[in-house]
Amino acid sequence: MTSAVPPVVDRAWLAYSLNRRDVVLADVRWYLDGRSGHAAYQAGHLPGAVFVDLDTDLAAPHGPGPSTAGRHPLPEPAAFAAAMSRRGIGDDDVVVAYDDAGGVIAARLVWMLRATGHEAALLDGGLRPQDELTTEIPERAVPVFTPRPWPAGRIAGLADAVDRGTVVLDARDRNRYRGEVEPVDPRPGHIPGALNLPARENLTTDGLVLPVDELRRRFAALGVATPDAGDRVVSSCGSGVTACHTLLLLEHAGLGRGRLYPGSWSAYSNDPSLPAATGDEPG
């Protein structure tokens, strides 16, 4: 599915588009260290923004089956639809999502919406120190959000993640990829054959997305230089969140759309029979 809305938009695009009644700002702050994204939202957010909870709105409970493996499995389509409706997001809305981490968390919502044919974009740079914030919670009607199945062509499984015919890009920070630290998952390291492209290194020091030419250079260095190559990408991370950022930037750079491995390292590392690689080399 193609979208009329680009995957990444700037403040000028947002200012112009907010004049349209169908644009919804979504605050998707979340923290690996356990801090509350909702508390951060309540303390101050962009005017008009609704809060979307990564753990409850954008993920299903962890379970034993392959579809619920990992820390943030994709929710059932009906559950996702119900969550969006509760947040005031409907079928015809354009969603612009942000966080305070350069979009690496908010990308999960944007990817989920775009993958199911909805209009959504990531706000380049996210929250800025100079932003005027509010504590006012917007009141939105409960619109219709129709459940749509996750498209098979946008989802990867374990077999795809270990297939050496794919290009597996691991979006985690380098120290986690190398296996030097592992704060949350059962084992350190990475999927053998996976290449490291840390999501946060695709941003400037101001949290803006790198220029397209630089993104293309970075992808090309890992063997992804054309849309055909991009379509062979399997994007992984810790639990299928920052991996969505990689996929949005792949599309932003005109290099195809790739596939998300929702379970990512959190699912893979839970199976002790699967080999793990450590260090800088893919393995």
Active-site positions read: 237
Structure tokens at 65: 């089956």
DSSP the chain: ---SS-SEE-HHHHHHHTTSTTEEEEE----TTS--HHHHHHH-B-TTPEE--HHHHS-PPP-SSGGG-SSSPPPPHHHHHHHHHHTT--TT-EEEEE-SSTTTTTHHHHHHHHHTT-EEEEETT-S-TT---B-PPPP---------PPPGGGB--HHHHT-TTSEEEE-S-HHHHTTS--SSSSS-SB-TT-EE--GGGGB-TTSPBPPHHHHHHHHHTTT--SHHHHTTEEEE-SSSSHHHHHHHHHHHTTS---EE-SSHHHHHTT-TTS--B-SSS--
N- to C-terminal Cα separation, the chain: 35
Q: How many CB atoms lie within 10 A of CB 200?
A: 15
Q: Which of 126, 130, 108, 106 is nearest to 207 (CA)?
A: 126
